[in-house]
């Protein structure tokens, strides 16, 4: 996991734009973390009222949820609370919006730009309870890297 964190750091230094950092993070996490079966960024659409999360970069199967209002889904809950949400069994969470029938667990980590939620990093797994403390730290690190990069642009 340390190695993946290092690769994220290297990638963030080399990528010319925040969008490329996001795409690189999706590819890297999907390739290197075997239980991360869908990895994607949702970003708040500037100026839209009420606010809506829009799918940006992702790696994995196409999802029907390309636009998610803040009062829907685990994605909406993470963005509106500004807190990381880990769901060990998505079938037991009434907020869950299904993206693939194979998904068993999910983590959503908000991305902050200038102390405000700007979007989030969402990861689905085909395995139950795939996201432990180390995973949470890694995904939070990736979200921080992207937030800092967006702050600079």
Binding segment for ligand SME (CB under 6 A), chosen from 11-19, 27-35, 62-70, 134-142, is 62-70
Q: For the chain, how many helices (H) and strands (E)?
A: 4, 6
Q: What's the residue count for the chain?
A: 153
Q: Give the residue with the Cβ less far from ligand SME, 17 or 71.
A: 71
Which of 4, 15, 54, 97 binds ligand SME (CB under 6 A)? It is: 97
Residue with tokens 């290092």: 6
Residue 85's DSSP bridge partners are 108
- For residues 134 and 122, give the distance between their C-alpha atoms in angstroms, rounded to a whole number: 16
Binding segment for ligand SME (CB under 6 A), chosen from 1-9, 27-35, 63-71, 134-142, is 63-71
Taking CA atoms, 87 is separated from 79, 94, 116, 127, in Å, by: 15, 11, 23, 11
Interhelix angle for 2-14 vs 133-152, to 10°?
Answer: 10
Q: Give the residue with the Cβ less far from ligand SME, 100 or 140.
A: 100
Site string for ligand SME, 110-149 (x = CB under 6 A): ------------x-x-------------------------
Query: Is the Cβ–Cβ distance between 149 and 41 less than 8 Å?
Result: no
Q: Is 65 in the site for ligand SME (CB under 6 A)?
A: yes
Residue with tokens 């659409």: 45
Which of 75, 85, 107, 150 binds ligand SME (CB under 6 A)? It is: 75
Q: Is 43 in the site for ligand SME (CB under 6 A)?
A: no
Q: Is 44 in the site for ligand SME (CB under 6 A)?
A: no
Interface with ligand SME (CB under 6 A)? 38, 40, 63, 65, 68, 73-75, 96-97, 99, 106, 122, 124
């Amino acid at each position: 996991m340390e190695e993946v964190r290092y690769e994220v750091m290297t990638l963030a230094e080399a990528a010319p734009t925040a969008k490329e950092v996001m795409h690189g993070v999706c590819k890297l996490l999907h390739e290197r973390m075997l239980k991360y079966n869908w990895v994607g960024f949702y970003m708040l659409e500037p100026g839209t009222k009420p606010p809506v999360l829009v799918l940006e970069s992702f790696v994995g199967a196409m999802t029907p949820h390309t636009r998610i209002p803040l009062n829907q889904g685990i994605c909406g809950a993470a963005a509106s609370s500004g807190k990381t949400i880990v769901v060990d069994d998505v079938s037991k969470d009434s907020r869950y919006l299904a993206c693939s029938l194979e998904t068993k667990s999910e983590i959503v980590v908000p991305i902050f730009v200038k102390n405000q939620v700007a979007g989030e990093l969402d990861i689905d797994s085909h395995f139950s309870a795939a996201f432990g403390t180390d995973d949470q730290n890694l995904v939070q690190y990736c979200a921080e890297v992207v937030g800092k990069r967006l702050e600079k642009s």
